[in-house]
């Protein structure tokens, strides 16, 4: 399977703990995106990378959130001092741009529950 993969699929953590999620994009895709989706809503953009450069960050991405893509391949999203409001599905997507169609392909997501 050469689609976008995310790990873990589910994470339960206690309030105040740090968590880290990983995303592996489609291998030839140079852009990688993070979105957050709460129950009953559409996904909301958090940030994106082109290769290893983080080019845009949403206001939703508070200073407790940090994302990296050190070698322009996989990416990690870390949430420090988790709060109950962080409970959501965290989705990763990748695309080929410029020169590609900009279509974003999503992974299966990481479901975070903060107790």
Partner 1 sequence: TQLLEQSPQFLSIQEGENLTVYCNSSSVFSSLQWYRQEPGEGPVLLVTVVTGGEVKKLKRLTFQFGDARKDSSLHITAAQPGDTGLYLCAGSFNNAGNMLTFGGGTRLMVKP
**Which residues have a Cβ under 8 Å from the Cβ of 44 and sit 6 or more positions away?**
35, 36, 37, 58, 60
- Paired tokens of 56: 């845009």
Binding residues (CB under 8 A) for partner 1: these are 4, 6, 31, 33, 35, 40-45, 48, 55-56, 58, 91, 93, 95, 97-98, 101-109, 111
Q: Is the CB of 79 or the CB of 107 nearer to partner 1? A: 107
Nearer to partner 1 (CB atom), residue 18 or residue 62:
62
Compute the least distance from the CB of residue 16 to partner 1, in Å: 26
Three-class DSSP category at 90: strand
Tell me the two tokens of residue 43.
């996904």
């Amino acid at each position: 399977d050469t689609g976008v993969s995310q790990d873990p699929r589910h994470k339960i953590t206690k309030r105040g703990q740090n968590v880290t999620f990983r995303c592996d994009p489609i291998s030839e895709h140079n852009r990688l995106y993070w979105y957050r989706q709460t129950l009953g809503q559409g996904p909301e953009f958090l940030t994106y990378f082109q290769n290893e450069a983080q080019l845009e960050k949403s206001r939703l991405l508070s200073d407790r959130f940090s994302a990296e893509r050190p070698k322009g391949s996989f990416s990690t999203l870390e949430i420090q001092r988790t709060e109950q409001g962080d409970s959501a599905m965290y989705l990763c997507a990748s695309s080929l741009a410029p020169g590609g169609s900009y279509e974003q392909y999503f992974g299966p997501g990481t479901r975070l529950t903060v107790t």
